Amino acid sequence: MRKRLSYANITATLALVFAMSGGAMAANSYLINSTKQINPKVLKKLTGKPGKNGIAGANGATGPSGATGATGATGATGAAGVEGKEGKQGAVGSFETALASGKTETGAWGAGFTAPGSGNAYFATATFPIPLPAGLNSEHVLYVSGSSATHCSGAGHAEAGYLCVYGNDSINVNSPSSSNIFNGEAAGPPGIGIQGFTIRLSSTSGGETLLTGSYAVTAP
């Protein structure tokens, strides 16, 4: 039996078509603005695999050196170290009991006092650091009033077997001679012993007197 088309049937059919097409259009135009709107299973499939690491780039040029920094504060003093062990005692050294032949020793001498007048005598004595091997006779004992003399080339020097007594600063004192130098260890003629010498001085006038000098003696 053939159905009849009517306005109502046509209207209902068009409404159905528009409803279906309108729903499809709405579905095609749906806006996704968050991954939360996507099913996790679907999102996992949509996520790609991590890419391979890229090739490292070339090193850049070295930059200029920076300015020198300020000097830091001085650090605190460290604790004292542990004291080291005491060293072994060294061997007993030898001491010369007599000046070796050809060796020279030197020293200083001098004396002064306030003289009551002229011609007042007084004495100066000098001791050798190392005794001589033997005393020297008067011919080998010389007083040098200048800078040098025979057998005495200058302060600090004496030929082998000679004592040279050099004068220096002088105030109100007569210049002594070689005969004024003698052995002070015992009475005897002019000359010296092994320990040193004594020199006789005298004032030129009353008042302060002074005479100083040096000596050099060389063992024969």
Residue 89 pLDDT > 90: no
pLDDT for residue 30 is more than 60: no
Q: Is the pLDDT of residue 42 over 60?
A: yes
Lowest mean pLDDT among 33-42, 88-97, 149-158: 33-42
> What's the pLDDT score for residue 118?
96
149 exposure class (CB count in 10 Å sphere: 0-12, 13-18, 19+) = middle
Q: Phi then psi for 78, rounded to 5 degrees?
A: -70, 165
Alpha carbons within 13 angstroms on the beta-carbon side of residue 189 total 6
